[in-house]
Amino acid sequence: MIEFLKNISDGLVIWAQQSGLKVIILLSASFIIYKFGGRAIKKIIRAAVPASGDLSPEEENRREDTLIAISVGTLKFLVALLVSLMILSEAGVNIAPLIAGAGVVGIALGFGGQYLIKDIITGLFIILENQYRVGDVVTISGISGAVESINLRVTVLRDLDGVVHHVPHGEVSTTSNMSKGFSRVNLNIGISYGADIDQVIKVVNRVGKEMQSDDNFKDKILSAPEFLRVDSFAESAIEIKILGNTKPLAQWEVAGELRRRLKTAFDQEGIEIPFPQVVVHTK
């Protein structure tokens, strides 16, 4: 037993002398890349990605953050893979079968992994075309939510209920981005048939301008919400359409506040927002 332990100890000493230093260097190099590679990639992308006149500074930051996250994740995966193979080689493991096995796996993927390849190719186009970024609110394949992360294969969305959805890029046929460039308040409000339309227009436009000049909203509203048209004659109300442009992701907050202010203004001006009514005729 003592002889056996001595042989193991001698073998470890010999291995440490021959390969231990190389392993330490490999681990140190990988640690440095993990530690500082992400920072270098961040600086390079921030400096190299050209600014787009169609995007606000906030959108530019989200675009760059998305590219940084994907690049750093890819770098870490490649470093981990290469360092693992090199350490196994130094430990005396023949990595040739592993590499050959990877080739066989690649052939298998060529026959059975079409969906994976489709996901990756589509993901590349999504990223290169800047269709959406981390932080955007989008609808993808009928699922709406905020983009939490993107990689080459899948986009992760979180909806208002807090549910996380993983959408493979190969299943993406149509993408609707609700937070790119600018957003829009688009409201339809019903008013009584007895209301004075000209008065309604004045009240709506006044409330929109007051909101745009409000300190809490002036940085969020690009063009004041205003009356656009009489949209339809409904059963118990005249539907009017109100439009206004906001900064990305601000449309829901602005629309909610606009509804509140319009309700207060309509009450003060005696403008009725009717509820559904049914007229019954008896003989």
Residue 235, domain extent = 183-269
> What's the rounded Cα separation, in Å, for the pair 221 and 249?
11
Tell me if 118 is assigned to some domain: no
- For tokens 């559904």, name the residue: 276
> What's the rounded Cα separation, in Å, for the pair 206 and 204?
5
Domain count, the chain: 3
Tell me if 85 is assigned to some domain: yes
Note the pLDDT of residue 189: 94
> What's the rounded Cα separation, in Å, for the pair 167 and 119?
10
Tell me if 258 is assigned to some domain: yes
Q: Both ends of the chain: CA-CA distance in Å?
A: 112
- On whether both 41 and 7 belong to a single domain, the answer is yes
Q: Residue 167 has which token pair?
A: 């959408």
Tell me if 52 is assigned to some domain: yes
Q: What are phi and psi of 174, to 5 degrees?
A: -135, 135
Note the pLDDT of residue 15: 53
Q: What are phi and psi of 30, to 5 degrees?
A: -65, -35
- On whether both 172 and 193 belong to a single domain, the answer is no
Per-residue tens of pLDDT for the chain, all 283 residues: 566 555 556 555 555 555 666 767 777 777 787 777 777 777 777 776 666 655 666 767 776 777 777 777 777 777 777 777 777 776 666 666 655 555 545 554 554 456 777 777 888 888 778 888 888 999 998 899 999 988 888 899 999 999 999 999 888 888 999 988 889 999 999 999 999 999 999 999 999 999 999 999 999 999 999 999 999 998 889 999 999 999 989 999 999 999 999 999 999 999 998 877 666 777 7
For the chain, give the longest Cα–Cα distance: 115
Cα dist from 159 to 168, 210, 266, whole Å: 16, 32, 33
Tell me if 234 is assigned to some domain: yes
- On whether both 92 and 21 belong to a single domain, the answer is yes
- On whether both 134 and 216 belong to a single domain, the answer is no
CATH of the domain at 138: 2.30.30.60
Task: Report the candidate in 155, 154, 153, 130 with the shortest Cα–Cα distance to residue 144.
Answer: 155
- On whether both 170 and 193 belong to a single domain, the answer is no
- DSSP alpha helices (H): ranges in the chain? 2-15, 21-32, 38-48, 57-90, 96-112, 114-128, 197-213, 251-269
- On whether both 87 and 29 belong to a single domain, the answer is yes
- On whether both 187 and 172 belong to a single domain, the answer is no
Tell me if 280 is assigned to some domain: no
Tell me if 104 is assigned to some domain: yes
- On whether both 24 and 45 belong to a single domain, the answer is yes
